[in-house]
Structure 1
């Protein structure tokens, strides 16, 4: 059954909405720090030949584990060198498996974004009770390590369940990133409260870029350059450029350099607003008076 809470009232900023400083282009650096439940493996991996149905993909799991073992630290060093703060999507299970790393991300000033308890726990496939349990479990796990409840949520695959937003509102979340339907953030009001929807875009995202389309790190950089240069030419309303790296994909040396090069090119500019998703949500609330 479709819940009434699945259909919120929407309030969008006007066409004159701009970022702090008057810019119309915002750049957000996203890190995906992801893990899978015990006995589960990523649905994709580096090997092209399929396994027989039902075979556990140990190769894909080892590939995915690279993010926690090596990739996340490389990407954090990049952000530190370039003095950029990221919105870091963190699987709740890392509060148990790697609490020191979660704490280090938080203490470095990066935004902790709740990213479900594990990558295989996708809200769209959960019941109402399971959605609630997953949000609460993830929230409390991350808060137990950082001392602060996360204020933003992004589901694995960006795929929320029918009841996810209502649960996020009940749990005091300020924003969610499971929307791709517009360029600028907006307010969603459900029967139990409201939440800012901060849209996500996939143009500069290493996982589909490399694993689905087979593009190179140089093309990742070129896509960013083209996206930024052309949007700066036309002040056609506020928009966000998401630059996303997964710790197990472009956390590797072969791709990390391109992420760093984008950070070099974006940081310190006066014609773009480099921000976290939480900062974007806070600005939107202030503009809307919500």
Structure 2
């Protein structure tokens, strides 16, 4: 979403590194909330009356740093897959060992706002700038590397947020859903790659919003993956996303493991991080057009 940037999209001639037409990105949503804040809804599915602290939802969310992130990192290491880990700045303050482990494991640390309750569209311009500065600094101070990618809570930036991210030195963001591929967004003299965060294979809406069991997410992946490889003719990208407090748990995590196994077995598919995807676009500028057709 942008207030006035120009867009260039990838045409049908684009290919992922190695010549692959289909690309897969594994995302891990590692989420935390500001002090005194909790997830808006917990595993029971019914929010409390306004003004009451939801201890159930708070405890549910804390599973992520306690157990879920470690299980997800172990699975990714076993398959030799580098993931993109959406990480809130508050977690660098409260669970620093986990954020260091993500970085040491070779994964991409994606800035995910200070907390899940800090959503850019609710902030004025100065508030958005401060949130970017604060989140970036917390992660960079801990890992020694400033994040190059950003995804806002619920993928919701603001009309000016992409410009502010570009001005802050970010190379890509995921606050969009309007393409099958990354595209280039120019904001004045700066540019930033927009990488859609596709929701087709995502544990939170599948399990929490729609009440599906874990096998339903696997079936969704299998069908989408087959369609992309066998029916589509144009280049496409598929996100596979889990949250550490949702399918970081054993009852659902086996699906993430199985999807990784199936993707690794496919020799016609590219697998990389969101930063890798941004770099692939920049290396393929000749494939960019004003329409993407």
* TM-score of the pair, normalised by structure 2: 0.95
What are the within-5 Å matches in structure 2 for residues 100-115 of structure 1?
Answer: 100-115=97-112
Unaligned runs of 5+ in 2: 289-293
CA contact (8 A) 1:131 1:163 kept: no
SS of 2:28's partner is strand
Structure 2 residue 48 is matched with structure 1 residue 74:
no
CA contact (8 A) 2:88 2:116 kept: yes
Structure 2 residue 154 is matched with structure 1 residue 157:
yes
Structure 2 residue 57 is matched with structure 1 residue 60:
yes
Deviations 1:188-239 (A, max 9, x none): 0011411001111101100000000011111111111111111111342111
1:283 shift after superposition:
0.6
- Give the equivalent residue in structure 1 for 2:37: 40
CA distance in 2, matches of 1:74, 1:35: 17
CA contact (8 A) 2:32 2:91 kept: yes
Pairing partner for 2:179 from 139, 163, 182: 182
Pairing partner for 1:131 from 107, 128, 132: 128
* TM-score of the pair, normalised by structure 1: 0.96
CA distance in 1, matches of 2:38, 2:78: 32
Structure 2 residue 247 is matched with structure 1 residue 250:
yes
Q: Which moved more, 1:84-93 or 1:42-51?
A: 42-51
1:49 shift after superposition:
4.2
Structure 2 residue 266 is matched with structure 1 residue 269:
yes
1:162 shift after superposition:
2.1
The size of the alignment, in residue pairs, is: 287
CA distance in 1, matches of 2:148, 2:232: 30
CA distance in 1, matches of 2:103, 2:218: 27
CA distance in 2, matches of 1:199, 1:106: 23
Deviations 1:22-72 (A, max 9, x none): 221111100011000001110111114442232111110110111011111
- Give the equivalent residue in structure 2 for 1:227: 224
Q: Once superposed, which parts of structure 1, at least 4 consecutive aligned residues long, lie more than 2 Å away?
A: 48-53
